[in-house]
Amino acid sequence: MGWECSFWTVASSAGLALTMVSVALAKESIADADVVALVVDSKTGASDQDAAIGGEADRAGRGIVIIANKWDLVKTEDHTFVQTFDENLRHGMRFLDYAPILHISALTGERATKVLETIDKVAAARRTRVPTPALNRFIESVTAANPPVSPGRKHVRIMYAAQIGVAPPSFVFFTNVATTFHFSYERFLINQLREQFGFVGSPIRIQVRRRDRNTNVGGVRKNRGARTDQARQHRDDQKERKDRRARKNRRDLKER
């Protein structure tokens, strides 16, 4: 699998050489990427532009790895620097709390090999599919201890859930009444899903729908038959191949 990233040019010889390039076309490059490596300066921390690019990657549903470069210039700081740096970085980009942070030096090569290793993990995580039975057992245990909270006063119950997509992982929750979840409860569910099933470095999407009387557990209408997890995986593979062809066509047009 080839990695497409606007922030790094990667070449391997005796070691791993990393060279930063322009991010002027970041938005366009994000559209062509599977995983975005968001590079921040360890001396200055994340800039407003870094946050804007990170937000665009999050909205696009791309995997994200935050790379703190020039770590060789700050690693001599006191022992609390790493913790303080990461806390400030998280505070400035709260919406990327799921993205792993790497401290590297492109100049010395320190920890540079962790970049592709982490990108590989994130790319795999964003394509993870959770079997429907396992998902519903987990959701049942979570909601039993922490019932849904909605903006209205209606009593809301999650009847069942299903994963409806990957890259990014997307889930639909079927409830007994038409509603939405309070943003805090939606965030709670996302955190629980991430803690239980991984999804490191990937945003998670959630939808809420009222259960249809003609729908079985798993979200499938009775007169259409059951869709297996294998069928969903086949559909995801087809979509991924289509997306890759589209990205290749865009690259070919740029090179002409």
**Are residues 86 and 117 both part of a single domain?**
yes
pLDDT higher than 50, residue 17? no
CATH code of the domain in which 45 resides: 3.40.50.300
- pLDDT tens profile 79-114: 789 999 999 999 999 999 999 999 999 999 999 899
- Residue 249 within a domain: no
**Are residues 17 and 63 both part of a single domain?**
yes
**Are residues 141 and 227 both part of a single domain?**
yes
* Cβ 158 vs Cβ 184: under 8 Å: no
CA–CA distance, 226 with 223 (Å, rounded to integer):
9
The mean pLDDT of 173-194, rounded to a whole number, is 93
Please state the pTM of the whole predicted model. 0.77
Give the full edge-to-edge strand order of the sheet including 170-175: 158-165, 170-175, 205-210
Total H helices, total E strands in the chain: 7, 10
Q: What percent of the chain clears pLDDT 70, i.e. is strictly above it?
A: 74
**Are residues 12 and 121 both part of a single domain?**
yes
Q: Which of 70, 105, 125 is the last residue of a domain?
A: 125
Position 236 scores a pLDDT of 65
**Are residues 79 and 169 both part of a single domain?**
no
Q: Which of 60, 92, 125 is the last residue of a domain?
A: 125
pLDDT higher than 90, residue 21? no
Position 76 scores a pLDDT of 77
**Are residues 145 and 177 both part of a single domain?**
yes
Computed over every residue of the chain, the mean pLDDT equals 81
CA–CA distance, 36 with 63 (Å, rounded to integer):
6
CA–CA distance, 87 with 68 (Å, rounded to integer):
13
Q: Which of 125, 145, 175 is the last residue of a domain?
A: 125
Full domain range(s) for residue 167: 132-243
For 100, counting Cβ atoms within 10 Å of its Cβ (0-12 exposed, 13-18 middle, 19+ buried), the class is middle
DSSP 8-state assignment for residue 228? P
**Are residues 194 and 94 both part of a single domain?**
no
- Residue 2 within a domain: no
* Cβ 35 vs Cβ 119: under 8 Å: yes
**Are residues 58 and 77 both part of a single domain?**
yes
**Are residues 113 and 136 both part of a single domain?**
no
Q: Going by C-beta distance under 8 Å and a sequence separation of 6 or more, which residues neighbour residue 150? A: 156, 179, 180, 181, 182, 185
pLDDT higher than 60, residue 161? yes
* Cβ 202 vs Cβ 123: under 8 Å: no
